[in-house]
Structure 1
Amino acid sequence: MKSTEGAGGIMAALGADPTVVSDETRAAIEQNAGVRLHEVDPEVLSFVVEASRKCGNDHFKRGEYQKAAESYSQAIAGRPDDFTLFGNRSAAYLALGRASDALLDASKAVLVSKSCGTPWAKGYYRLGCALERLERFDQATEAFSEGLALEPQNARLADKRDKCAGLAEDAKNARVREEGTARRDLVLKLREARRAEVQLQMQNQYKQAMQSPNFEMEDFDWRPTFFPSSRLRRRGERSSTDSSYVAAVAGYCRRLFDLESPRRDLGLLSQGGLLGAYEAALAAALKEQPGAHVLVLGSGSCVLGLMALRCGARRVTCAFRTPSLRRMASVAARENLEDPSRITLLESPVEECVVEDRADVVVTDWFDHTVLGLGVIPSLEAAASRLARPGAKVVPQRVAVRAAIAELRIAKVSGFDLSYLNAYRWHPGHDRCDLSRELAQGSETYRLASDSFVACEVDLQQRLDAFAGGSGAGVEEAGENGERPEWEAEERVEAVASEDCVANAVAFWMEIHFGGGGAPVTTWPGHPAALSQGWPSAGHLGQAVSYFDEVPLSAGDALEVSVFVGRDRLLFHLPGRASRPRHACVPAWHYDMLLDSSRNNAYEGAIRRCVESRRAFASAAKITALDVGAGSGLLSMLAARAGADAVVAVEVSQHMCDVGEECVVMNGFAHKVLFLNRDARRMDVSRKPDGTPPDMEDKADIMVYEVFDSGLIGEGALHLVAAARARLLKPNASIIPCAARVYCAPISIRVASAAGFDFGQLNRYSWRPDYVGVELESIPGDWEALADPVEVFSFDFYEHEANMAPAEKRIEFAIKKDGVVSAFAFWFDLQLDEEEWLSTSPYGQKGRTWQQAVQRVEEICVQAGSGLPVVARHDTYGISFDLDDSMVDRGDLSSGVPLWDPVWKVSYDRATEANAEIARSCAQDPSEYRKIASAAVRIGTRPGDYGVPAEEASKFCVRMMS
């Protein structure tokens, strides 16, 4: 050991010890006694120290811890560089309950031993025990680990380390739970405050107008609730809320389905493998029965009927789900048959039709991603009773539904926990998706979590035979009251998790079997089995997911799934597990946006540079950011993390405001980010005439926003920026993004022919008055650009007054190849700041936030080398394109395909008027919204009970709850 003088520096570093005399006190004692300690015989000093140590040890063994501590203190006075004495006294202090004193001595034992070059494992043990008593478990674990490094075989150290590690984890979890509880309490209080504020604003508006609302406050506060368990209730169980509103909403949904069904059916024409499977099956059936009568259920394009005639059918009869499909089929028949009368197109629904000459072969394509949601089983039943002979063949013969447990969840995004959005990820029925696209998100929480399994099989041939023969084979018998059971089949499947996950969905798809030993046609062509075996594709039908409440699973865990099969629907259910009610839904596109890392990184970089720049020029000034269209609060948190002192997050949707505020609070930014449930266009920093306080205390220094649709300005971006610049931003405020450029190209995106038939005239059913979002890069074979893109509009968002003026621009495209222009595709480059751009071009690498905008136009034929004069317009809410009639005669260029079917257009206009009336009623009268939303939820729960196709019912239900 080192000398006493050498240990003095260590003691100084450790701090004053009341049990060890200071140098000043010792000098005074020595002077008073006339003795110098360094002059004392070392052997005598050693004898006294050891006697005190032994005395301390004896007291300790007898449990006399106070006396033990005193004896150790005497020994330390004589030898303050003996680390073992500090360790012993630490144990005595710990036994006395003096954990802080024990910690001090244990720390001295460790430091003195290290200074002497002989690190002492027992010192770390004493240190760990003291820290454990003080419930500093993380530090205790480190101390025991240091001791183990010196004595790896020390079991006592190992046990203590493991114990403290567990206690540290428990303590951490307890702190997280406590903090989480406090934050959730804050979320609820903030939500309640916002509700009260919105109520007050509404009341003030009525007071100022000297009117009273024509609705109750209960209706104003009411929000729809969807109970997943209600999908299991028995058929026919209706509540008193069934009313004229239910009938009206059901009729509206059926009308929308009628208008959309032609465009949906055109997707079949792009599936060459599926059409080949149909034709091969038809040829085989007609070879067995030459000259047979074929009944086609579906196929608005008439392609199945045309193939049946080509395969030798004597007669073809077609039944349709909607009037618009029948009109489309009549167009196709006229274009491809010299004698269109060879195909009979039934005008009434299949349930109401009767024919004298019954069919020998029944072929159907009444499938969608929901499997049974289009009513293929009821249609086969009706055909068997009225339209088909006993023993008739069905094409296809059966459908197998394959499924897998899936985890489709938001977790960490840009370092923030956004898992709170998962509570809003659900669907009233089966949500259509592209599984290959979803699983390519690059997120660990987007994956299939089990091997695929057969969920159920629907044997169409068996069902037709049972219906035709009246035997009931394969179909559940009716009960005493004449009604069939609710579910015709129930399967229970145990899906085994292939890895640790938090499952929240069943993903499923179809394998359509046509018989004859051929390969099945799959609706998920991207599945490994389909890719490896080259199965034909029916990818236009898509895949689906059925959501359930989150279930944590470890690899090897089995999850029991009940599969209910009814006449008009398929339902997945987890027996014995609760399903919580749902009050709001976040659209699927929002999750795509959040997982777009290129978008998030670009915004984060631009925001950080902006805050740093403003801080550099005015370091003491408070920086306030305004986030318009805040949604999940991601951009608000990015601004706060970048250094903004305060962020005002503005969101017009009430439930998105709830979601965003929850994310902000739970991520610890409640002190910086304030969520307001407002329309930014109506906000101000001045007190309102009705006495309402200003929306913001002061104008903002930075505005961040992401309110862009596929066509850039369709969500009102120009109006939001103009309103903010006029009333909410300081004159020198920064805007992110700051500018944008719009590019356009004429494209050919149309149906020409399929299976050897001409379907060009059916393109009239693709028209819509506004542009639609299309991800062109994902369908490279379905479209072709006939000219290079040109820039059509450029917006500097700082020039808000100029942007608010509608504009028109004449441009000319240089056609580079012959073709038929059927649409204009346009996209944009978004400038966030001087360094960062985002592009939605189909020719580059882009994220999944935006698609390209595609506007259908009247088809014109163009030739390479010619010019195409076009007028581009924007009215501040949308961009449109049209042929420049002052420069060219469109009649000379027409392809002969009209822009729309006039009968369909009349129906479309009426539906548009009905849609506007619904939107107006819901916005102006909360009691009307309550009635319409209640009807939407009821129909979305059990669409088959109301004669509404499942997908259309779900879409309207989601719309009312979004």
Structure 2
Amino acid sequence: MRQTYSNSSFDPLTEDLLRYLERVHDVYLPRRLLDFAIDKEMQLAFQKTCERAVKGRNRVHSLHMGIGAPFTAMLAVRAGASRATICEKWPHLAAVYQTLIDTNGMVDTIRVINKTLSEMRLKEDFAFPPNLLILDSMGAGFSGNSFGAAIRFARKELLSPDAEIIPKGASLFAVPMELRTGLVCGFDLNAFNRYRWTPIYEEIRLDQQEYKPLADPFVCVEFDFLDPLIPEDKTFAVTPEHSGIWNATAWWYDLVLDEETVLATDPQSGTSSRRVQALQYLEKEVHVTNGEVFEIRVRHDGRHIRFEPESTHSDDSVISTVRLGPAVPHWHFPMIADETRNDKYEEAIVRAVRGVENPRALDIGTGTGLLAMMASRAGAAGVTACEMIPHMAKTAGEILETNRFGNKVHLVAKSSFDIEIPLDMKEKANILISETVDHSLLGEGFLAALQHAREFLLVDDPAIIPAGALVYASGVEIRTEDVRGFDFTPINLLRLNHYTCMDLNRVEHRRLTNESEVFRFDFYQRDFKPTQKVFELPVINDGKCNAIAFWYRLMLDKETFIDTGPDSGTIAWQQAVVFLDREVNIQNGDVLPIIGYYDQHMLGFSIDTMGCMLNGISMDSGDRPFWFKRLMEEETDFQSYTKEISERVRNAGEGAANQALKNIADNMDKLGFDPLIVSDFIIQIGYHLQ
């Protein structure tokens, strides 16, 4: 149920942000079910635990919370529970849960209540007190989901005195580490580390990161859910095994479901998208020396956990460090760390500089200034680097000065569309360098920037890096059907009409068609008009095609390219996936007709409905439940609403925004907000404000 804030004690900006965050949660949380549905190890662990909890007991009434609530509720009923109740605040998520219960024929024994836990009342909402509580809402950071408050309230107000709780407890493990950007291709990029900042925490897969653990993992917090949760403030003496700079702490946990089953989330625990670790950066870096003991202070209050040097003199009453800070989207870090990407760009840049007379380079979207410094080091007589984000431009300036390129690379803190000659550039460049390409190739507006530069900023026959791209596509099946004997096919609706990016090697899928080249871009071309074409993909496997996955070969020049496909090994890019608006039933030997289209800002695909009909290929009926139609309507309206909120924050200023964000963080448990959604929101606000 959505809350109203008109009579609250919050200021108007906080109220506006609360309403926005409520819509974010309601619209985007349902897709978390898709991640839940692929974690088979977790599903099996909960199945065994539920069966043991229900076995041999009479008249079990179970209460369920968390993204896995419909699954654990159905497990309990199948194991013998007489009733199960699901508590879910968010309307769209509650509607999806109800659909799953209906689909599996358990509507008479499982009830979904669209309330927060604190709104539930024993006499109103339960036939008799629940004697089994099952929670699946821990998240990577564990303590950010207010599980302690939920358990305390349930035990006091709702549960029977002899109620069993699953899980029973947890042990949190922490490791101090050095996770930084240093020398990249011989350039000092240390200034970029100021963007390693997290308002609450971030999810991370340590098995995909290059980092230096400074000490062995240690148990920092232990929870017993049968006892009242007490805030803790502890100091741990840690002996480092390596010298380095402590700038981050990662943590994970062992979740004790019962005496026989422990669910681990450590870096070696599996490849599930739910099995990730949490990460928090320090506000100030600390130098540590091998063998010399240093102290880590760990504080938690059931909502937040904070790691800091013991020497830090901070307000003991404040654990959350929520505030605006320097922010960039997190994909910048793996991009900068991608040695293959960096080396190949430099190869192409060196050839371009050596191949023209009096080389003058323009780097559009310079970011850290890395590619601009490469051009200068290769011998370009003049290099102009433009960056439209003010705080990124400032950081690039520091990096240029640190590497003694301050008087060799001219930095312009503007969009390339605003550059004027001779005000910002003495003369037109004869080399264009840019890496403003995303997972889908065109999502950062590269074609628009290129076309403008060709007309106003470049000579008639410039060298262009990248020189072109080949786009490849394949029809795939990424679906959920059976989950431990339950029919979860309704959640496939959550994939429809949706664009995302993913590492296909880590996602269970079936390739149904051959990989086919669908677009060939020549970036030396002067004009890029919106284009739409029909392609035919040869079908090699039977299945339900519900998505088109695509990737590309980025031709930096005639000799050097970067592949972004699933077998490329790149860490800077994943594969783009466009989920179709309808599922298509195809068989080996069919030809799947799809429509590919692009303009200066996007590239996408859809199904060729008429072509499918002519080829005798069937599609699903297109009938959709009411909740799904409402969800799609809200998603459609969301982009304009986001722009409206961003403008509201900009007008309010940084001080008012900081206070509003602190109000939200301090009340996350009462509001039922997810810490990762709030954290990402704060980073985005900071990114656009600075």
TM-score of the aligned structures, taking structure 2 as reference length: 0.92
CA contact (8 A) 1:861 1:895 kept: no
SS of equivalent residue, structure 2 residue 514: coil
Tell me which residue corresponds to 2:280: 546
CA contact (8 A) 1:637 1:673 kept: yes
Tell me which residue corresponds to 2:541: 817
Shift of 1:864: 1.2
Tell me which residue corresponds to 1:162: none
Whichever residue aligns with residue 576 of structure 2, its letter is: A
CA contact (8 A) 2:324 2:686 kept: no
User: Which residue of 279, 293, 314 maps to 1:558?
Assistant: 293
User: Which residue of 657, 664, 668 maps to 2:400?
Assistant: 664
Q: Distance in 2 between matches of 1:611 and 1:260?
A: 47
Q: Distance in 1 between matches of 2:669 and 2:82?
A: 37
CA contact (8 A) 1:249 1:935 kept: no
Deviates more, 1:552-561 or 1:402-411: 552-561
Corresponding position: 1:636 with 2:365 = no
Deviations 1:439-474 (CA, angstroms, capped at 9, x unpaired)? xx3xxxx22111011110121232xxxxxxxxxxx3
Whichever residue aligns with residue 602 of structure 1, its letter is: K
Deviations 1:691-734 (CA, angstroms, capped at 9, x unpaired)? xxx22111011110000011100100000100111000111211
User: Which residue of 635, 639, 654 maps to 1:912?
Assistant: 639
Whichever residue aligns with residue 514 of structure 1, its letter is: L
User: Which residue of 824, 840, 846 maps to 2:569?
Assistant: 846
Shift of 1:604: 0.4
Q: Distance in 2 between matches of 1:613 and 1:578?
A: 57
Number of aligned positions between the proteins? 663
Corresponding position: 1:588 with 2:316 = no
User: Which residue of 652, 662, 666 maps to 1:938?
Assistant: 662
Deviates more, 1:582-591 or 1:394-403: 582-591
Residues 344 and 242 (structure 1), Cα distance of their counterparts in 2 relative to 1, 3 Å cut: closer
CA contact (8 A) 2:646 2:685 kept: no
CA contact (8 A) 2:585 2:617 kept: no
Q: Distance in 1 between matches of 2:590 and 2:115?
A: 48
Q: Distance in 1 between matches of 2:514 and 2:237?
A: 54
CA contact (8 A) 1:298 1:366 kept: yes
Whichever residue aligns with residue 577 of structure 2, its letter is: V
User: Which residue of 285, 306, 311 maps to 1:571?
Assistant: 306
SS of equivalent residue, structure 1 residue 427: coil
Whichever residue aligns with residue 448 of structure 2, its letter is: H
Corresponding position: 1:604 with 2:346 = yes
CA contact (8 A) 1:250 1:939 kept: no
CA contact (8 A) 1:940 1:956 kept: no
Q: Distance in 2 between matches of 1:742 and 1:942?
A: 47
CA contact (8 A) 1:652 1:679 kept: yes
Q: Distance in 1 between matches of 2:483 and 2:116?
A: 27
CA contact (8 A) 1:503 1:551 kept: yes
Q: Distance in 2 between matches of 1:271 and 1:817?
A: 25
Tell me which residue corresponds to 2:578: 855
User: Which residue of 372, 386, 394 maps to 2:165?
Assistant: 394
Tell me which residue corresponds to 1:274: 42
Shift of 1:265: 2.7
CA contact (8 A) 1:293 1:316 kept: yes
Residues 587 and 913 (structure 1), Cα distance of their counterparts in 2 relative to 1, 3 Å cut: closer
Corresponding position: 1:953 with 2:678 = yes
Shift of 1:311: 0.7
- Name the structure, 1 or 2, with higher relative contact order (CA <8 Å, separation 6+): 2
CA contact (8 A) 1:827 1:840 kept: yes
Tell me which residue corresponds to 1:511: 254
Whichever residue aligns with residue 823 of structure 1, its letter is: A
Deviations 1:222-269 (CA, angstroms, capped at 9, x unpaired)? xxxxxxxxxxxxxxxxxxx95111121122112212222111133222
CA contact (8 A) 1:522 1:539 kept: no
Whichever residue aligns with residue 217 of structure 2, its letter is: S
Tell me which residue corresponds to 2:453: 724
Corresponding position: 1:413 with 2:184 = yes
Whichever residue aligns with residue 186 of structure 2, its letter is: G
Whichever residue aligns with residue 353 of structure 1, its letter is: M
Q: Distance in 2 between matches of 1:583 and 1:282?
A: 43
Residues 504 and 943 (structure 1), Cα distance of their counterparts in 2 relative to 1, 3 Å cut: farther
Whichever residue aligns with residue 756 of structure 1, its letter is: G
Tell me which residue corresponds to 1:335: 103
Whichever residue aligns with residue 348 of structure 2, its letter is: A
Residues 953 and 324 (structure 1), Cα distance of their counterparts in 2 relative to 1, 3 Å cut: same
User: Which residue of 464, 472, 481 maps to 1:735?
Assistant: 464
Deviates more, 1:264-273 or 1:882-891: 882-891
Q: Distance in 2 between matches of 1:583 and 1:658?
A: 15
Whichever residue aligns with residue 71 of structure 2, its letter is: V
Residues 381 and 945 (structure 1), Cα distance of their counterparts in 2 relative to 1, 3 Å cut: closer
Shift of 1:400: 1.2
Corresponding position: 1:460 with 2:202 = no
Identity %: 28
Equivalent positions of 1:467-482 (< 5 A) are: 474-476=228-230
Q: What RMSD over aligned residues (CA atoms) do the two structures have, in Å?
A: 2.3
Residues 935 and 717 (structure 1), Cα distance of their counterparts in 2 relative to 1, 3 Å cut: farther
SS of equivalent residue, structure 1 residue 252: helix
Tell me which residue corresponds to 1:501: 244
CA contact (8 A) 2:325 2:683 kept: no
SS of equivalent residue, structure 1 residue 289: coil
Q: Distance in 2 between matches of 1:683 and 1:551?
A: 41
Q: Which runs of 5+ in 2 are unaligned?
A: 1-8, 315-320
Residues 494 and 432 (structure 1), Cα distance of their counterparts in 2 relative to 1, 3 Å cut: same
Tell me which residue corresponds to 1:772: 500
Q: Distance in 2 between matches of 1:895 and 1:509?
A: 44
Shift of 1:940: 6.5
SS of equivalent residue, structure 1 residue 772: strand
Tell me which residue corresponds to 1:434: 205
Deviates more, 1:250-259 or 1:941-950: 941-950
CA contact (8 A) 2:14 2:664 kept: no
Residues 578 and 665 (structure 1), Cα distance of their counterparts in 2 relative to 1, 3 Å cut: farther
| Higher strand content, 1 or 2 | 2
Equivalent positions of 1:91-490 (< 5 A) are: 243-299=11-67, 302-337=70-105, 339-354=106-121, 355-438=126-209, 441=210, 446-462=211-227, 474-476=228-230, 488-490=231-233
Whichever residue aligns with residue 827 of structure 1, its letter is: W
Q: Distance in 2 between matches of 1:725 and 1:896?
A: 45
Deviations 1:27-76 (CA, angstroms, capped at 9, x unpaired)? xxxxxxxxxxxxxxxxxxxxxxxxxxxxxxxxxxxxxxxxxxxxxxxxxx
CA contact (8 A) 2:69 2:135 kept: no
User: Which residue of 441, 462, 466 maps to 1:712?
Assistant: 441
Residues 698 and 826 (structure 1), Cα distance of their counterparts in 2 relative to 1, 3 Å cut: same
Q: Distance in 1 between matches of 2:278 and 2:302?
A: 19
Shift of 1:387: 2.4
Q: Which runs of 5+ in 1 are unaligned?
A: 1-240, 463-473, 477-487, 531-535, 687-693
Tell me which residue corresponds to 1:182: none
Shift of 1:348: 1.6
Whichever residue aligns with residue 633 of structure 1, its letter is: G
Whichever residue aligns with residue 135 of structure 2, its letter is: T
Residues 797 and 475 (structure 1), Cα distance of their counterparts in 2 relative to 1, 3 Å cut: closer
Q: Distance in 2 between matches of 1:710 and 1:324?
A: 29
Whichever residue aligns with residue 559 of structure 2, its letter is: E
CA contact (8 A) 1:245 1:931 kept: no
Tell me which residue corresponds to 1:868: 592
Shift of 1:766: 2.7
Deviations 1:857-895 (CA, angstroms, capped at 9, x unpaired)? 122221111111111111221112111122224993217
Q: Distance in 2 between matches of 1:428 and 1:737?
A: 36
CA contact (8 A) 2:198 2:679 kept: yes
Q: Distance in 2 between matches of 1:287 and 1:846?
A: 48
Whichever residue aligns with residue 565 of structure 2, its letter is: S
| Higher helix content, 1 or 2 | 1
Q: Distance in 2 between matches of 1:603 and 1:279?
A: 50
Tell me which residue corresponds to 2:6: none
Q: Distance in 2 between matches of 1:378 and 1:869?
A: 53
Shift of 1:640: 0.5
Shift of 1:300: 5.3
Whichever residue aligns with residue 489 of structure 1, its letter is: E
Q: Distance in 2 between matches of 1:283 and 1:300?
A: 16
Q: Distance in 2 between matches of 1:325 and 1:317?
A: 15
